Amino acid sequence: MIASRPDRKWIAALIGVLAVACLSGCRSPGARPIGRAIDSNVRFSTRIPDVADYAAAELATAALVSDDERAERLLGRLRAIDTVLEAAGELPTGLVPVATDLVNATTDSAYAYRDATRELLESDDLDPTLRERLTQTDENNPLSLASARIRDAWVITFGRAFNALAEPIGKSIMTMSLAPYRLARSVLSYAIQVYNQEKLPLQRRQALAHWKEFVARYPDAPEVAELEPLIERGDIKLAETLYTRAVRSAQRALDTNQTRQALVYADRALDYKPEDPVATALRDEADRRLVYERKQRSRSLEIAREMAPVSAGALQLSVAMLDPGGDVVTAANELLQAEPEGPYSDEAHFAAAIALGERGEELQMWQALGEIAEEDADQSNMVRHARSLIGDPASNPYLAFSKARSQDRKNRAKWVLLGPWARGPADRRLPGPLEWAIDLPAIGQTVIAFPMRLLQLPWMRSLPTARLAAVYGRRYLDRNPDGERAAEVRDWLSAFENKRNNHIAVYNLALQDPNYDADELAELRERAAEQAEAFASREDRRDTRIAMYRRVAREYPDTRAGMRAGDAVRAEVTHATPQQIRISRGFIVENPEFAGPRGLALEAELLDGDPVNGELHPAGIVLIGGRTIKLLFIGPSGDEEDPPIEVYQKLSDERFARMVAKLEETSFRNSLLDPDDVIVADANRDVVFERARVGLSDDVDNRPAAESTYTYRGMRERYGMVRSRESILPFSLVLQGSLSDLSLGAFPRINAPRETPDAFLYR
């Protein structure tokens, strides 16, 4: 029976729906591999050495004994062998470049080795690894490094001048009327920057050090005659730079009353410029202040020659203060009644105030101490002590808390009004009024945009002053959990921590409030438990992670997160292994030599994309300790997101050592050829691999401190399809806009060269 046209359309639609459903939801079921996933019995036949092998061995022997003539002769033999092979249409041995580098390395002169290395780099048959190593050797030459730093210095100098012109012009696209002002301001800032620049900038200091190293290593090189005057001029500029730094540091130390530091910097400046009047004046001022400080300190240690006789009331007050159960207030009042203007009346007032605080009358204590602090310090003995207690954040944390809150409110208001200028004008090492005058027009433009900052205020991050207030608030609650101001401090801290999503802190504060709503407290408890569980899950070290999970399960047993933490503890203890070194499938696929018979010897069908015959999970394999590895395969559902099938296999000593050696060789080779494929240091991993190479893998170290969680990942797993690369162009096109000053523009910017890793040594 032939279906009608409508029936055929319905059938076609049904087939299409089934096809789409199958393509989107149907997956081939996963399965564990048939047989062993790794063939540990792979053996390699003994390689019979040929003429080239014998020649290479003899060349290595000659190089080790420094027989240069024989090494050159054997190198010529290897070249002749390659010539014969190429003439016969066969592949060359590949030994000539390595042998040439070996012979070059035996030369007596490192200078000659540099020239030989450059000549070898011109060859077309170098192995990529050898080429990269020789390139780095050539670039690490002191002259090459010095030239690179000089080039960086010129790029920075030119870039600053170019950017000073390009940026203000580009940012004035929409407001051309402001272009002259912005250009003038930028040029003025550039001129000030040039004026304040050190005589010998960082890159030129590096170049000077490299020149000196070259002269020391190659004193007979022809370049030495050209470098010596450059070094001499550089030393003069370096001394001027260090002198200027020392003078500025000495002046800054004097301004902040750090007398000893100022004296050290002034002496250092005089070392660079003896008898310099500026440095001499700074040193004299620091010396004068230090003598005065020492005199005052000695005076404070002097004992009065004559002391007033101690009355009975004063003696009674002293005993009460020493007695843990003494009634200090009564003794002080009796002393004041007997001798209201006596020599110890100040001490009696002070002791009575402290006793009020010990009895819990916090406000009365600080009020009494405040009255003492307002008296004349020359007439009262205890004014200095009262002022010290009031102003000490450790003794009076509430006052410090209040001041920090007040300062935080002021800082937030200044930010709303002035934006990026809230901290003042840019530091150009000029007098303050002049710096304000330079930035005043830009500050005016920023003030106009304050409504936008007012809208951003609710989502603004906490300022350092708010975090400081939180520190003092917690300190107050630690000292006075039931204090008269505890509720106020607790409410502020709860709001502060809630804004930071610190649920644990909010919950602990809520526990201190007897009037807190029970339902809200239960909800806070759930959030705090979830936060604590998340903290535990991010811990790398196993024993610490288990301890954190146990604490969550113990402190929050009636919460969902607490129950999960208890399950996590059991899982950690049950499945704990000495090591957790993971090698992902992406790494294995990208490095077939490691997966092949000379490495892991993994069966090829496990990487063919067919889950039916066993397909390696993206998590790959895990070295779990000893010679046992855990292989992870895609589960029965065929979905890579589902839990994998775990298969354990113990390798032979030879196979495990070969796998570890090939893994390290592959990873180090990749790191040499690709700067993005870095190897992160991991001491525990290195210990495991070292023990494997010498056949001690079965001696397992079960200490949690010896566990490594290192992961080898493929480059596509790290960066995706496209990796971000640094532009080879020396400039960037910048599109920049700001609501603070209502500016929008596009302009080119010369990129400053990145500092070298050793730059901190030359600062």
**pLDDT per residue as tens digits for the range 181-199:** 777 777 877 787 777 788 8
pLDDT in tens, 497-515: 998 889 999 999 999 888 8
661-697 residues labelled b (16+ CB within 10 A) or e (exposed): ebbbebbebbebeeeebeeeeeebbeebbebbeeeeb
Mean pLDDT of 510-536: 90
CB 624 within 8 A of CB 617: no
Mean pLDDT of 432-440: 71
pLDDT confidence bin for 19, thresholds 50/70/90: very low
- Indicate if the alpha-carbon torsion angle 72, 73, 76, 82 is positive or negative: negative
CB 622 within 8 A of CB 582: yes
Which positions ≥6 away from 324 have C-beta within 8 Å? none
pLDDT confidence bin for 554, thresholds 50/70/90: very high
Q: Are strands 743-750 and 731-738 parallel, antiparallel or unpaired?
A: antiparallel
Whole-number pLDDT of residue 22: 44
Residue 234 structure tokens: 């550089």
Q: How far is residue 370's CA from residue 372's CA, in Å, rounded to a whole number? A: 5
Q: How far is residue 181's CA from residue 444's CA, in Å, rounded to a whole number? A: 13
Mean pLDDT of 8-21: 46
> Which of 133-147, 318-332, 398-412 reaches the highest mean pLDDT?
398-412
pLDDT confidence bin for 686, thresholds 50/70/90: very high
Whole-number pLDDT of residue 325: 78
Mean pLDDT of 620-648: 89
For residue 759, pLDDT over 90 is answered with no
CA 692-616-571 angle, 5° bins = 70
For residue 10, pLDDT over 50 is answered with no
Mean pLDDT of 530-547: 91
For residue 757, pLDDT over 90 is answered with no
Which positions ≥6 away from 11 have C-beta within 8 Å? 3
Whole-number pLDDT of residue 305: 55
CB 620 within 8 A of CB 582: yes
Whole-number pLDDT of residue 194: 78
Beta-ladder partners of 649: 629
Return the higher-pLDDT residue of 281 and 735: 281
Beta-ladder partners of 735: 746
- Only one residue has tokens 């080239």, namely 52
Helical spans, DSSP H, in 480-516 = 486-499, 503-511
Q: What 8-state DSSP symbol labels residue 557?
A: T
Which of 105-114, 651-660, 709-718 is predicted least confidently?
105-114
CA 510-513-516 angle, 5° bins = 70
Mean pLDDT of 2-8: 46
Return the higher-pLDDT residue of 546 and 173: 546
pLDDT confidence bin for 675, thresholds 50/70/90: confident
pLDDT confidence bin for 555, thresholds 50/70/90: very high
For residue 587, pLDDT over 90 is answered with yes
For residue 263, pLDDT over 90 is answered with yes
pLDDT in tens, 266-285: 999 999 988 889 999 999 99
Beta-ladder partners of 648: 630
Nearest Cα residue to 490 out of 504, 466, 470 = 470
Mean pLDDT of 315-336: 80
Mean pLDDT of 654-658: 89
pLDDT confidence bin for 2, thresholds 50/70/90: very low
Mean pLDDT of 661-665: 93
Q: How far is residue 531's CA from residue 511's CA, in Å, rounded to a whole number? A: 17
Whole-number pLDDT of residue 684: 92
pLDDT confidence bin for 300, thresholds 50/70/90: low
Mean pLDDT of 681-710: 90
Which of 7-21, 615-629, 743-757 is predicted least confidently?
7-21
CA 23-24-29 angle, 5° bins = 75
- Only one residue has tokens 């480059």, namely 715
For residue 311, pLDDT over 80 is answered with no
Helical spans, DSSP H, in 171-308 = 179-196, 202-217, 224-255, 259-272, 277-300
Three-class SS state of 332: helix
pLDDT confidence bin for 525, thresholds 50/70/90: very high
Whole-number pLDDT of residue 490: 92
Mean pLDDT of 628-642: 87
Q: How far is residue 98's CA from residue 53's CA, in Å, rounded to a whole number? A: 13
Residue 549 structure tokens: 């999970």
Mean pLDDT of 434-455: 71
Mean pLDDT of 474-503: 90
Mean pLDDT of 294-317: 72
Q: How far is residue 751's CA from residue 656's CA, in Å, rounded to a whole number? A: 48
Q: How far is CA 668 from the centre of its chain?
A: 24
Q: How far is residue 183's CA from residue 172's CA, in Å, rounded to a whole number? A: 9
For residue 17, pLDDT over 60 is answered with no
Return the higher-pLDDT residue of 604 and 683: 683
Three-class SS state of 408: helix
pLDDT confidence bin for 441, thresholds 50/70/90: low
Q: How far is residue 595's CA from residue 608's CA, in Å, rounded to a whole number? A: 13
Please tell me whether the overall predicted TM-score, pTM, comes out greater than 0.85 for this model. no
pLDDT confidence bin for 6, thresholds 50/70/90: very low
Return the higher-pLDDT residue of 16 and 49: 49
Q: How far is residue 662's CA from residue 192's CA, in Å, rounded to a whole number? A: 57
Return the higher-pLDDT residue of 536 and 109: 536
For residue 655, pLDDT over 70 is answered with yes
Nearest Cα residue to 230 out of 213, 207, 249, 252 = 207
CB 208 within 8 A of CB 200: yes
User: What is the percentage of the chain residues whose pLDDT exceeds 70?
Assistant: 88
CB 727 within 8 A of CB 742: no
Q: What 8-state DSSP symbol labels residue 296?
A: H
139-161 residues labelled b (16+ CB within 10 A) or e (exposed): eebbbebbebbbebbebbeebbe
Strands (E), 476-562: none
Q: What is the mean pLDDT of the chain?
A: 83
Whole-number pLDDT of residue 123: 84
Where exactly are the structural domains of the chain? 51-139, 242-300, 312-391, 400-572, 579-701
Distances (CA, A) of 234 to 203, 228, 237: 12, 10, 5
Whole-number pLDDT of residue 21: 42
